Structure 1
Amino acid sequence: MPLKPLPLPDPGSPDLSSPLAFLRWLQRSQRRGQVLSTCWALLEMGCRAALPLPLGQGVQAAVDGDAAGIWRAGAFALALSAVAAGGTVLLHRQAVWNWITAATQVRQLVARQASRLGAGLSRRIATGEIVAVGSGDVEKIGWYVELVARVRAAVLVWLAVSAVVLTVQPLLGLVVLLGVPVLAGSVWPLLGPFEKRYAEQRALGGKATELAADTVAGLRVLRGIGGEELFLARYRAASQKVRAAAVRATRLSSLMQAQQVLLPGLFVVGVTWYGAHLAATGRIGIGTLVSVYGATAFLAAPLRILGEAAHAWSVARVSAGRATRVLALNRTSGCPDASLARPERADLHDPLTGLTARAGELTAVVCGDPDFAGELAERLGGHVPPAEGEAPAPEQQAVRLGGTALDAVPLAEARAAVLVHDKEPVLLSGTLAELLDVPASGRIEAAEALAAARAEDVLDALVDGSPDCGGDPMRAVITERGRSLSGGQRQRLALARSLFADPPVLVLDEPTSAVDAHTESRIAAGLRRSRAGRTTVVLATSPLLLDQADRVLLVHQGRVTASGTHRELLHREPLYRAVVTREEDPAPVAAVPAGVKEAV
């Protein structure tokens, strides 16, 4: 029987109203798998539950001296064993598929959410939280979803066994019927404390993962300043907190597992003792006693499944809560239903700072604060979700392209219209052709984009490092994150990729910070030529770039305070001159002329 291939073409639209609703949605999304798993579990457990019947008949036939009855009982037991073995194989196959499918589906949902929110995701939730959800939590959720089908089968088989024992011996049947739910419910008082401790463990684990990710990302810097031991001590302390929390949670978990073994054992012993008493007094036969004992002993398996389900439910609810917290984040408080009309001819306007990049011009933005410049670049690329605990920005403060709020249009359309080139862009491993395999307008050729970014020496370095490329730079291999290249070479390759994409609006954050002045001057000229007629915003403080801009805006304390060409601002704005030329103690900023305010 073929199984559905993974990953899924579409992970679906989950119900995020609560963790329980999310788990139920996952179960409904794999109805076929759940039904098949339940059927195979019924087949496997039903045959195992019926096995004591031929055994009891065989024992009774031996007591009565009935040889034919022994052969019939043996054949019946053999057939049940064969069917149970087949059901076990089918159940295991389907159960594992259900588990993996649920885990994969949650991973796809988290990955899709990360893609939707982009850089704004890390402002809402810590990176370690995302890693924890995408690794450990999905496994716990998949475990619970898989287990639900076996729980259904266990309950049905328990009811069937109880009904059979009731017909043979009413009192024993009543004990079986009532004893199983009582034993299964005995573990529930421990679930609340266990769930609380497990949630604490997962939260501490997420913080430790976040600390490890930050340490690895800044390892080169830490080595340069000798801060490795400091961060190692911090991670060691965080790891010990996770270990202590895990021990506290495991204590309750081990107690729950001990209950799953001890209480069913005591139950079987009690039922068997009473059945033996009935047999000793002649009220039931030896064969009936064997059958009742076997059926009662079998009930230990459904009891273990119910206990496992209680454990899985407690950890899955915590994990589902973390997953829904990530999946419930919205890119915007509104409904993205607007559309951009001719973005290549539209002005880009930010009401919050007063910044306006005119259509078809190269606009440079000078900020004295590099961190604010990075935030502004993200903002110009679309709506940046507020940090956790912050209220969403009013709609009138959203960045607009041609009068349309970017956070009110579908994300794919917003990204196609405005491309943000990060200060530290990432180069994925692969060939240069694969690096440049991005959605592009077709107006700029790859060779032209590489030439504008002055990447000639980068191509030579790639060819020298890739003997198998046959001298073709497009077949040359780029290592992971471009580690074999210098910072300036990586920066120029990333710039060439952005120029080749040729979006209607391109936002560049310090695109030449890692190159020398001579190369930077040539890049500035190439940038102006390749982006002619397109809207370009460059956040920089380099005079070589600023001198190529049609207009330069000075942003101070979060607002545009001056506008003009680079040379004009150098003469009339002391603050601008101080930022660009690195002067100290600038004179007070002159009043902004009314005409400039109107232009901004």
Structure 2
Amino acid sequence: MQIRDLPYPDPGDPDVRSGPRFLLWLGRNQLRGQLKSMAWGLLHQCSIAGLPPAIGLAVQAVVDRSGSRLAWSGGLITVLGVLIALGDTMLHRTAITNWITAAARVQQLLARKTAELGSALTRRVAAGEVVAVSTGDVEKIGWFVEALSRFAAAAAALVLICAGLLLYLPSLGILVTVAVPLLALAVLPLLPRATRRADLQREKAGKATELASDTVAGLRVLRGIGGEELFLGRYRRASQEVREAAVHSARMWSLISAIQVLLPGVLLISLVVYGAMLARDGRIGVGQLVTVYSAATLLLFPLRHFEEIAMAYSFSRPSAQRAVRVLSLHRAARPSTLDAAPTGDLYDPVTGLMAPAGLFTAVVCGDPDEAGRLAERLGGHAQAGTDPDEDAAEREVLSVLLGGVPLDELPLDSARTAVLVQDKDPVLLSGTLRELLDVPSSGRVTAEEALTAAQCGDVLDSLAQASLATDGDPMTTRITERGRSLSGGQRQRLALARSLVTDPEALVLDEPTSAVDSHTEARVAAGIKALRQGRTTVAFASSPLLLDLADRVVLVHRGTVVAVGEHRDLLRTEPRYRAVVTRETDEEIAALASRGATATIEEVEERA
């Protein structure tokens, strides 16, 4: 795989049993690139290893006053120089290719998993961790894959050089051959401690990233309550902890680097002293001493790769483990068995919630978190049901049914087409308004109709004023990341318009009007009902203005449907419903009960 061939047609099915297994899987999938990089690395390293004998021949030729051997040695050094340049260039090219293609493979796997899980991803994994995995961790993993081939070439070159020295000059070759493995393994006792410190640094960095992400996302709210200084102080403390952990980790790596410099220096000094004694006694020639010393000096270069691979693995292992935590998440417990999405009622067997086909159903939950989990489950993103030890009957209960067919049995694309869930905090990506509304859809609802139903007239006016086009076309106005240039209500209505454009078989809305005023809320609710006529719509809300327009209202209490009916009937007959919708306290409910078991409908509507 070359960089120009990216992206991968299929990034593959990763081994997510552990971080090291994932790295091994990546290495196997990069095997061709690894072998090419290793081959060029061997050429580079062996060409460098060939310099000491050539230099030794040249020195001996000068001592012997042989012009022909000196010329032959000069030609050999020139050829080796060309091979070194070629090997180094191609090694760098292939190694960086391995790095980029490995990182691209991981990014594609993460993107595929994100598309599979949708909004359920950040409910199951912290947003900061997802950011850390998709940015810095991907680079660390690519670094290890890239360093692996260069390390393999360096290790092979060390074996060849030591074998050559043993054959060329056994008296000094034995010293080098015994010392090199000791030099390579000398830092092994320090690696576990260095790895633990690197893990701690990564953990603190991930928490700091998560805190920064959450703070930026809630900056508008923090400024409203004057809490930005509090969170700024928290981030300062978190960043200082990251700095201290990084310094603590760097000290260990600096000690490892110092050992990698000290021990080879001791070897060179010992080699020079012992070689000089042998040369003084006439047991070896000057040229041989120069050759062995030069070879030992060049051994330091491949030895540096041992430190690099240890550092790369120490940093990439926790990164791979974080990637595995994301990639091991699953949407469904069972494989898809159907090709097309069915139509019909939307039913959740867990709570007993039924949304009849073609009707506007409003759902009232006293617990907002419970409403969010139920909305997520209606979209086929059940968090439970992935345990392999569960029996089939338990997994069956956890699947929402559409037209009597479990959503888990549908292909992902079909399930997304059939049921669309809009979170209470939808995300607007940066781009123009036309690009925002250019989403997969049935084609039955135009962008203009969706914007009208969502009451986006004032949003269009403000975008037209901010438009750089001479005609003031709001559709060409660029929206900033997450729509931060818009108010909360404007963002919510644009997101609603985007959902209405898709025109799914079943549309699930979680608090679609929570950020708008009551006058706009009533018009938005009427627009949704009119535009979605004949289509299944489920809205989680507690606003009487929206509930009064629903065809049927369902009350969910502690995970179970406890009442179904129309808004006004439930207000009169169901105290738990009335407590959520009218915000009555227990004392007020008791007072009403003491006056006659139930309040008059006029009193209830006045409170609502």
TM, length-normalised to structure 2: 0.91
**SS of the residue aligned with 2:119?**
helix
Contact conserved, 2:194 with 2:253, CA < 8 A, in 1? yes
Q: Which residue of 2 aligns with 1:513?
A: 514
Preserved contact between residue 467 and residue 473 of structure 2 (Cα < 8 Å): no
Residue in structure 1 matched with residue 245 of structure 2 by the alignment: 245
Show the counterpart of 1:385: 383
User: Residues of 2 paired with 1:241 and 1:377: CA distance?
Assistant: 38
How far did residue 2 of structure 1 move? 6.5
Give the secondary structure class of the aligned counterpart of 1:537: strand
TM-aligned CA deviation for residue 56 of structure 1 = 0.9
Distance 1:558 1:352 in 2: 8
Cα shift at 1:257: 0.9
Structure 1 401/58 Cα, relative in aligned 2: closer, same or farther at 3 Å?
Answer: same
1:188-222 Cα shifts (integer Å, max 9, x gaps): 11111111121122112211211121222222222
The residue number in structure 1 matching 2:193 is 193
Q: Corresponding residue for 2:165?
A: 165
Task: Check whether the contact 1:33–1:94 (CA below 8 A) recurs between aligned residues.
Answer: yes
How far apart, in 1, do the equivalents of 2:485 and 2:303 lie?
58
Aligned Cα RMSD in Å?
Answer: 2.5
8 Å CA contact 1:383, 1:398 repeated in 2 = no
1:204-283 equivalences under 5 Å are 204-283=204-283
- Please list, as runs of the form range in 1=range in 2, the aligned pairs for 1:541-556 lying within 5 A after superposition: 541-556=542-557
Structure 1 counterpart of 2:244, one-letter code: A
CA distance in 1, matches of 2:386, 2:257: 38
Distance 1:391 1:260, change over 3 A: same
Q: What residue identity is the alignment partner of 2:338? A: S
Query: Is the Cα–Cα contact under 8 Å of residues 365 and 554 in structure 1 kept in the other structure?
Result: yes
SS of alignment partner, residue 324 of structure 1? helix
- Distance across 2 between alignment mates of 1:387 and 1:229: 42
In 2: Cα distance, 1:342 partner to 1:42 partner: 56
Report 1:60-79 matches (<5 A).
Answer: 60-79=60-79
CA distance in 2, matches of 1:496, 1:321: 39
Opposite residue 281 of structure 1, the aligned amino acid is D
Give distance in 2, aligned partners of 1:256 and 1:524.
66
* Cα distance per residue 1:200-257 (max 9 Å; x no partner): 2211221121112122222222222222222222222222322232222222111111
The CA distance in 1 between the partners of 2:410 and 2:147, in whole Å, is 41
Contact kept in structure 2, 1:41 and 1:91, CA below 8 Å = yes
Q: Which residue of 2 aligns with 1:409?
A: 410
2:344 to 339, 343, 346: 346
Residue type of the alignment partner of 1:54? A
What amino acid is the match of 1:364? A
Higher mean displacement: 461-470 or 277-286: 461-470
Q: Say if 1:404 and 1:296 are closer, same or farther in 2 by CA, change over 3 A.
A: same
How far the C-alpha of 1:477 sits from its partner, in A, is 2.8
How far residue 294 of structure 1 moved from its aligned partner, in angstroms, is 1.2
Cα 1:547–1:146 change in 2 (3 A) is same
Q: Distance in 1 between matches of 2:406 and 2:159?
A: 60
Change (3 A) 1:517 1:324: closer
**2: distance between equivalents of 1:47 and 1:378?**
61
Provide the rounded CA distance (Å) in 1 between the counterparts of 2:43 and 2:541. Answer: 70
The one-letter code sitting in structure 1 at the alignment partner of 2:589 is P
Name the aligned partner's letter for residue 34 of structure 1.
Q
Specify the alignment match of 1:398 in structure 2: 399
Q: Distance in 2 between matches of 1:497 and 1:511?
A: 12
Deviation at 1:365, TM superposition (A): 0.9
User: Counterpart of 2:334?
Assistant: 335
Whole-angstrom distance in 2 between the partners of 1:573 and 1:340: 43
What amino acid sits opposite 2:287 in the alignment? Answer: G
The residue that corresponds to 1:355 in the other structure is: 353
Q: Work out whether residues 552 and 563 of structure 1, in 8 Å CA contact, stay in contact via their aligned partners in 2.
A: yes
Q: CA deviation at 1:415?
A: 1.4
> For residue 594 of structure 1, what is the aligned residue in structure 2?
none
Matches of 1:522 and 1:260, distance apart in 2: 73
Q: Is the 8 A contact 2:117 2:381 kept in 1?
A: no
* CA offsets 1:312-353 (integer angstroms, 9 cap, x no match): 222222322222222112223x2232337653x321111222
Deviates more, 1:84-93 or 1:355-364: 84-93
Which ranges of structure 1 fall in alignment gaps of 5 or more residues? 591-600
1:3 shift after superposition? 4.5
Shift of 1:75: 1.8
1:350-389: per-residue Cα shift (whole Å, max 9, x none)?
1222211111111111122333222222221123325999
Question: The residue matched to 2:589 in structure 1 has which SS?
Answer: coil
Residues 368 and 556, structure 1, Cα contact 8 Å, conserved in 2: yes
Looking at structure 1, the residues matched to 356 and 459 of structure 2 have their Cα atoms a distance apart, in angstroms, of 33
Structure 1 counterpart of 2:602: none
> What is the match of residue 483 of structure 1?
484
How many angstroms does 1:146 deviate by? 1.0
CA contact (8 A) 2:382 2:399 kept: no
1:432 alignment partner in structure 2: 433
The one-letter code of the counterpart of 1:586 is I
The 1-side partners of 2:351 and 2:154 are apart by 63
Change (3 A) 1:409 1:242: same
The verdict on how the C-alpha distance between 1:143 and 1:86 changes in structure 2, with shifts beyond 3 A counting, is same
Shift of 1:55: 1.0
- Offset of 1:426 from its aligned partner? 1.8
The equivalent of 2:424 in structure 1 is 423
Q: Which deviates further from its counterpart, 105-114 or 290-299?
A: 105-114
Correspondence list, 1:302-341, <5 A = 302-332=302-332, 334-339=333-338
Displacement of 1:531: 0.9
Q: Which residue of 1 aligns with 2:59?
A: 59
How far did residue 467 of structure 1 move? 3.5
1:22-58 Cα offsets, whole Å, 9 max, x none, are 1122122222321221111111111111011121111
| C-alpha distance 250-556 of structure 1, shift in aligned 2 (>3 A) | same
User: In structure 2, how many angstroms separate the alpha carbons of the residues matched to 1:424 and 1:7?
Assistant: 31
State how far apart, in whole Å, the 2-side matches of 1:317 and 1:517 are: 53
* Conserved? CA contact 2:336–2:408, under 8 Å: no
Shift in CA distance, 190/532, structure 1 to aligned 2, threshold 3 Å: same
- Cα-to-partner distance string for 1:521-570 (whole Å, 9 max, x where unaligned): 33222212211111110111222222221111112222211111122222
Distance 2:155 2:480 in 1: 55
Moved more, 181-190 or 508-517: 508-517
Residue 138 of structure 1 aligns with which residue?
138
Question: Which residue of 1 is the match for residue 603 of structure 2?
Answer: none
Aligned to 1:597: none
Deviates more, 1:290-299 or 1:112-121: 112-121
Whether contact under 8 Å (1:339, 1:404) holds in the other structure is: no
Cα distance change on mapping 1:304 and 1:471 into 2, 3 Å: closer
Name the count of aligned residue pairs. Answer: 588
Any idea what the Cα deviations from partners look like across 1:156-187, whole Å, max 9, x if unmatched? Answer: 22222222222222232223223211211111
Report if aligned partners of 1:431, 1:477 keep a CA contact under 8 Å in 2.
Answer: yes
> Kindly tell me: are residues 67 and 316 of structure 1, through their superposed partners in 2, closer, same or farther at Cα, counting changes over 3 Å?
same
Instruction: Give the match for residue 369 of structure 2.
Output: 371
For structure 2, list consecutive stretches of 5 or more residues without a partner in the other structure.
Answer: 599-608
Give the 3-state SS of the residue equivalent to 1:349 in structure 2. strand
State the partner residue of 1:35.
Answer: 35
Match runs of 1:81-92 below 5 Å = 81-92=81-92
- Aligned-partner Cα distance in 2 for 1:218–1:388: 32
Q: TM-score, normalised by structure 1?
A: 0.92
CA contact (8 A) 1:124 1:387 kept: no
Identity %: 57
Name the structure 1 match of 2:107. Answer: 107
User: Matches of 2:449 and 2:417 in 1, distance apart?
Assistant: 21
Residues 56, 287 of structure 1: 8 Å contact kept: yes
